[in-house]
A and B are shown apart, each in its own frame.
Chain A
Amino acid sequence: MAETHSLQDFQRPAVSSKVFIQRDYSSGTICKFQTKFPSELESRLDKQQFEETIQTLNNLYAEAEKLGGSSYLEGCLACLTAYTVFLCMETHYEKVLKKIDRYIKDQNEKIYAPRGLLLTDPIERGLRVVEITIFEDRNIGSGR
C-alpha cells in the first residue's frame, strides 16, 4: 500500500547484507584490494564490471602512493619548510583521494545504484575494506 509508506522508506530501503572486499597485501603495504568476485553479488552484478571497478580503484591508490620525483620533491619541500607548507597546500595523496571519491560517486550512480548496491569509499573504513551494501529488492526489479 503505497500511501502508507513514509518518505523515508523510499529513500532508505532496508539493508539486506554487506560484502567486504579485503585488502590484498601480496605486493606489500601499498593500498590494493582483492579483485576476487564475491559470490553474494553474483545475482546483481557482472564479474567483469566489478573487477573493473576494483582495478581502477587499485590504480588510483597506486597513483596516490607512487614514489617518484614529484613525491620526493614534495617531501623535501615540506621538510625544508618544517612541514608548514601543508597548512596551505594539499598533498598529492589528498588530491588523488578526492579523485577516488568522485569516481566512486560516479560508479554508484551509473552502475551500482541501479542494481540496488552501494559502494562505500574505503577511506571511510580506514582503507581496510571496500564495503558494498546490498539492499533488499522490494519487488522483482531487474537491473535497469
Chain B
Amino acid sequence: MKNCEYQQIDPRALSVSPLSAQSHTEKKDQRPRRKWEVFPGKNRFFCDGRLILARQSGVLPLTLGLIVVTCGLFFAFDCPFLVKHLTVFIPVIGAALFVFVVISLLRTSFTDPGILPRATPDEAADIERQIDTSGSSTYRPPPRTKEILINQQVVKLKYCFTCKMFRPPRTSHCSLCDNCVERFDHHCPWVGNCVGKRNYRFFYSFIISLSFLTSFIFGCVIAHITLRSQAGKSLVQAIQESPASVVELVICFFSIWSILGLSGFHTYLVASNLTTNEDIKGSWSGKRGSEESGNPYSYNNIITNCCVTLCGPVPPSLIDRRGFVPPDEVIPAASSASEMELPHFSAKNDVNMCTQSTKDVLERMVNSGSQTLCSPGTPKTTPLVQELPGTAAPSPEPPPSAGCPGLLDSRCPFFSRSSEKDSLHSINPAFRLASPSPSLTRTAVTLNGAADVGFMPLHPGSARDEAP
C-alpha cells in the first residue's frame, strides 16, 4: 500500500525545459530538436527557424530578379542622363522605393503568415468526444461544422481534418502549405508564401510600393527617351542609344496593369475589412444589399478598417519555430490527414498525391500566376503530408532542413516514443478507417502507443489512426 502523501505539484518542475528534462531521461542520444525541424506543414525554414517560406517557393526568384534587373538597368542607363538633364533626386527616390519594395517583399515571403499549430492529440481527442454522437458506429464521420454567432450574425466554423481542430473564423487551410492560416487571404506564388494575418500589411505595402516603383521607372524612362529624341534626334535613334530603356519599358508596361489592378483590389479589401478568400467565395455579399452590412468583422468605417488591417497590433508567431521540442511529445496530427477523411477520399488522395502532386501544384501556380491570385485552399484537397515509400517526394527539391517529418522519415524518432499520457482518452470507434493504406503498416509497427486502452486492433491503418 502506498503511503506517500499527496504531493503538491511544483509547476516549475512540470513545465521544465526539455534540455534539463533530457538530462534525466535515458534517451541519451537525442540532441534537442527545435520545433521547426519537426513542423508538420509544408514549409521551409532558414537561419535555424528564423525565416519561414512555403515549400514551393513559386516564382519568388523571378519576382526578385525582375525587380533587381529592372532597377539595375534603370540606375545604370537612365539615371546618368536624367541626373544631368533633370535632377539628382531621381536616383535617390528610385533607390528609396527600391529598398522599400525589396524589404517588403522579403518580409512578406519570410514571415509566418499566421499559421495555426495543429491540435495536440489530447485536444483532438477532446474535440472528437464533444462532437461524437453517442453510440454512432457508422464509420461515416458526422458533419463537422459548428455554428457560432459573431456580432449577431451566424458564422459556420468548419473542422479541419488535417489540423484536427475547428478552424477559427476567417481561418482557412492552405493546401499548398498544408497549414491553417489565420485571416487567410491567398497563397501568393509571386511571393512564395501564404498571405495571412501576420504578413498582410507587408504584402500590401509591397504591392503599393511596387506600383509606385513601376510607375516611377516607367515615367522616368519615358522622360529619358523623350528628352533624347528632342535633342534633334529621331525616336529610333534615341532608342538605339539606350536599348536598356526599351527593356525597362516593356517590363514596366506589362507589370503596371497587373500591379495597379492588384493594388486597387486590395485597397478595396482593406477598406471593407475583407479577405481575398471571402471576396472570391462571396461569403458576405448577397446577404443583404451592401457589402458592409453583411460582413460581421467590418467596423463600417473605412478609416477604422484600414487602420485595423494595416496598423493594428501583430500577434507573434504561434508556431514557436525556435522553441525546443519537449522530449515526450509525439508530433500531433502530423501525417494522419488521410485517416480522418472518408475512405474513398483517402484512397483517392493517396493516388493523387503519389502521382500528380507536383503537376497539380505546378498547374495551380501557372493558373494563379496568370491571375496573380491563387485560389484559397480548400479542405477537401488537403494534400497528404506523409511521403509514401518508393515515391519521390512531391516537392521538386527536397530541402535538407525541411520540417516535414513524413510518417516514414527515419530521422524523426518521435514515432518510436511511447505516449502513455495521451492515450488515456477513449478513442471514438466511429473513426475506424475501412481501407488502410499499405504504407501505414510500417509506421504502425514502429509506433508503440503503449496504452492498449485506445487501440482497436482491427486494421493496422486504424491502429495508426487511433494512436494519438
Contact = CB atoms under 8 A, between A and B. Distances in A.
Q: Do A and B bind each other?
A: yes
Interface of A: 1-2, 5, 8, 10-20, 23, 25-29, 64-67, 71-72, 74-76, 79, 82-84, 91-94, 97, 105, 108-109, 112-114, 116-118, 120, 123-129, 131, 135, 137-141, 144
B12 to A, nearest CB: 8
Interface stretch (B63-71, B119-127, B220-228, B377-385): B119-127
A13 B9 contact: yes
Which 7 pairs show the lowest CB-CB distances between chains A and B? A141-B6, A75-B311, A126-B117, A108-B11, A82-B103, A126-B318, A113-B9
Contacts of A84: 103
Interface in B109-150: 116-117, 119-120, 122-123, 126, 148-150
A4 to B, nearest CB: 9
Interface string B417-461: 000010011000000000000000000000000000000000000
Nearest to B116: A126
Contacts of B307: 67, 72, 75
Contact of A11 (B5, B13, B116): B13
A16 B424 CA distance: 8
Most chain-B Cβ atoms within 10 A of its Cβ — which of A29, A117, A126? A126
A129 B123 contact: yes
B310 interface: yes
A71 B313 CA distance: 6
A114 B10 CA distance: 9
A18 B229 CA distance: 78
Contact of A82 (B6, B104, B155): B104
A92 B313 contact: yes
A23 B168 contact: yes
B312 A71 contact: yes
Q: What class of interface size applies to chain B in its complex with A?
A: 35 or more
A71 B311 contact: yes
A16 B425 CA distance: 10
A79 B202 CA distance: 9
Given A11-B14, A71-B312, A82-B99, 7 more contacts: A26-B150, A71-B313, A83-B103, A109-B11, A126-B117, A126-B319, A141-B6
Interface string B309-339: 0111111101110000000000000000000
B84 to A, nearest CB: 30
Nearest to B299: A67
A72 to B, nearest CB: 5
B19 to A, nearest CB: 16
B24 A138 contact: no
Nearest to B104: A82
B301 to A, nearest CB: 12
A91 B316 contact: yes
A128 to B, nearest CB: 6
B57 to A, nearest CB: 21
A66 B116 CA distance: 21
A25 B9 contact: no
B3 A1 contact: yes
Given A18-B126, A72-B307, A139 B313 contact: no
B34 interface: no
B23 interface: no
23 contacts: A12-B13, A23-B168, A25-B155, A25-B157, A26-B149, A29-B182, A64-B313, A67-B312, A75-B310, A79-B311, A84-B103, A91-B313, A93-B314, A93-B316, A109-B11, A120-B15, A124-B320, A126-B318, A126-B319, A135-B9, A138-B4, A138-B6, A138-B7
A66 B313 contact: yes
Interface string B85-108: 000000000000001100110010
A91 B314 CA distance: 8
A104 B296 CA distance: 32
Contacts of A126: 116-117, 318-319
Contacts of B170: 29
B319 A113 contact: no
Nearest to B171: A29
Interface in B136-180: 148-151, 155, 157, 165, 168-170
A139 B5 CA distance: 6
Contacts of A1: 2-3
A24 to B, nearest CB: 9
Given A1-B3, A79-B311, A83-B202, A25 B148 contact: yes
Contact of B313 (A5, A74, A83, A141): A74
